[in-house]
Amino acid sequence: MGNGKKLFVTKIKETTRFEKIVKRITTDVSILKLLFKLGFDFLQIQIGTGLLQVSISADSKHAICKKNNSTTVKFRGGLNLTLKYNHSFEEFDEEIKKADLVISDADLGSCVAVLKRNKPLLVVITQDMMDTRKLQNELAEQLQKNGHLNYCTVDNLEEGLTTAFKAYSKADKNLFAKYLGKCLGFFNK
């Protein structure tokens, strides 16, 4: 891993397929170029039970080097973007801590795991997720409205990646007590 940023692409339940998102990130050269422009040089990708086939084609602007469970895209000028993929992670929280940005689905467990680490989170959903996970998608929409994460579809991933991220602010544990005290007349404000 170089001195750039690290992106962690994850699906907390490794038995669920996350292929459309992983495929878009690992095969679309325009996405890889955008990530590189955004300062990322290392992508850690959890592929779950899906079969990953990185099919980036080399051209005059970049070359591809595959080794074990990683692929390096070598751009002109000696700049590299490394993609490393695993089915699951024993130290899931450690991967989140090391990441500068996390891309996940709208699963509540994924959102909580990332936000409690105060990491920028981009929730990406697919059309089939929209049809089967209405409540999770509503959660992601509300969390975006509250400024806690960004939310997009696979088709508008570029927009999701370039939208500014705000840090998740931790809850004020005394907020309810303050509210109750105000309602009971103990505080003027």
pLDDT tens string 77-110: 777 888 887 877 778 889 999 999 999 988 888 8
Tokens of 94: 């450690």
Which of residues 55 and 137 earns the better pLDDT score?
137
* 16 pLDDT above the threshold of 90: no
- pLDDT for res 109: 82
Q: How confident is the model at residue 133 (pLDDT cuts 50, 70, 90)?
A: low
Residues in contact with 14: Cβ distance below 8 Å, sequence separation at least 6, in sequence order: 46, 48, 49, 87, 88
* 161 pLDDT above the threshold of 90: yes
pTM: 0.79
Which of residues 96 and 50 earns the better pLDDT score?
96
Residue-range domain boundaries for the chain: 5-162
* 189 pLDDT above the threshold of 60: no
What single DSSP character describes residue 131?
H
What single DSSP character describes residue 45?
E
Regarding beta strands 121-125 and 150-153, do their DSSP bridges make them parallel or antiparallel, or are they unpaired? Answer: parallel
Question: Domain 5-162: which topology?
Answer: Rossmann fold (3.40.50)
CB count in 10 Å sphere of residue 163: 13
- pLDDT for res 15: 45
Mean pLDDT of 40-63: 70
